[in-house]
Structure 1
Amino acid sequence: MKSIALIMLLITTFTRAETVEKEIPPDYGYVVEIGEQAPEFTAVSADGATIRFSDFKGKVVMLQFTASWCGVCRREMPHIEKEIWQQHKDNSNFALFGIDLDEPKEKVQKFAQDIPVTYPLLLDPNGKIFYKYAEKGAGVTRNVIINKTGEIVYMTRLFKQEEFDEMKEVIDKLLK
């Protein structure tokens, strides 16, 4: 029942303002909040492309924070690949980036092959991007959904199937 009520809230909320009334527990370790503009960043992908967040204004963007040593990330990433990336990768209004916390390019490339995932993984030396979103010492398994105006509309922590399913609903609604 609770999940149906939240989905109804999401649908109602998106028809009004494309934001979600979701309370983010303090133990999620975010330093950003729903309703805020997403922090700007520039990064290099594992294949060498330069990515500027500002270039994706006008698109729905999913940021997936990860690392090769993270067991929960390894469990969640195949779901992201199959249920989100494969569903929306050809939609010109959608972008998805995995942001790998402080690992060298070769390790990130191997990580992508091992899982496997085909969505772009960005390098985040010293956590410069990660710490714009999360507290020092916070865990990496987290996702941030950003609407077409650059506003944060949904955030997750760890891999919880119910929250993951809600996140997919948010993305689908934003892309309609």
Structure 2
Amino acid sequence: MSHAWAQYPHPADERGYIVRIGDAVPDFELNCTDGSVYSRESLIGTPYLLQFTASWCGVCRKEMPHLEKEVWQRFGSGQFLLLGVDLDEPMEKVRTFAEQMGITYPIAPDPEGELFYKIAGPKSGVTRNVVVDETGTIVFLTRLFEEEEFESMKSVISRFAP
């Protein structure tokens, strides 16, 4: 299998990102556990957050309740979309994980890290958030779950969905 990072123009930064703020979000299509389908093209006109996660990731499990309450419940009113992207796990496992975590935002498996490896380099950790504006441009990137950075991310999101 050939990963996107092999062809991407940016080397991985200190946080493992191969995309930068100001880049167009890479092409993707996500088939969510609720049957909804989202793609880069279908989301033009809608600002959104791609939340990279996995059931085995402890930091992800810590962050997800905050994303549910402080981002999805607050900003997810049709003006802003939060999309969970579960790294390299099958649909049924992703569905069970979402139920266990009590999240209501859409979440989709990312088979073989197809989208993840367009965002982050090889051997990069999974806990990441990518905020994308209505034009498809990346406007904010987070790594791990750090309170100050999370608050900054919410401030950026609030510009799209006050």
CA distance in 2, matches of 1:88, 1:164: 14
More helix by share: 1
Q: 1:49 Cα deviation (Å)?
A: 2.7
Q: CA deviation at 1:111?
A: 0.6
Partner of 1:159: 145
Residue 111, structure 1, aligned to residue 97, structure 2:
yes
Q: Which residue of 2 aligns with 1:137?
A: 123
**Partners of 1:139 and 1:76 in 2: CA distance:** 14
Q: Name 2:70's counterpart in structure 1.
A: 83
Aligned to 1:22: none
2:40 alignment counterpart: 53
**Rg larger in 1 or in 2?**
1
C-alpha displacement of 1:175? 2.9
**How many aligned positions are there?**
151
CA distance in 2, matches of 1:27, 1:66: 19
- Which runs of 4 or more aligned residues in structure 1 lie more than 6 Å from their structure 2 counterparts after TM superposition? none
Deviations 1:65-95 (A, max 9, x none): 00000000000000000000001222x2211
Contact kept, 8 Å, 1:58 with 1:93, in 2: the verdict is no
The equivalent of 1:98 in structure 2 is 84
Q: Equivalent of 1:125, from 100, 111, 115?
A: 111
1:27 has 2:17 as partner: no
TM-score (ref. length: structure 1): 0.82
Q: Is there any run of 5+ residues in structure 1 with no aligned partner, and where? A: 1-24
| Preserved CA contact (<8 Å) 2:23 2:137 | yes
Structure 2 gap segments, 5+ residues each:
1-11
Distance 2:85 2:102 in 1: 15
Residue 54 of structure 1 and its aligned partner are, at CA, apart by: 1.1
Instruction: Write the distance in 2 (CA, Å) between the matches of 1:174 and 1:93.
Output: 7
CA contact (8 A) 2:52 2:129 kept: yes
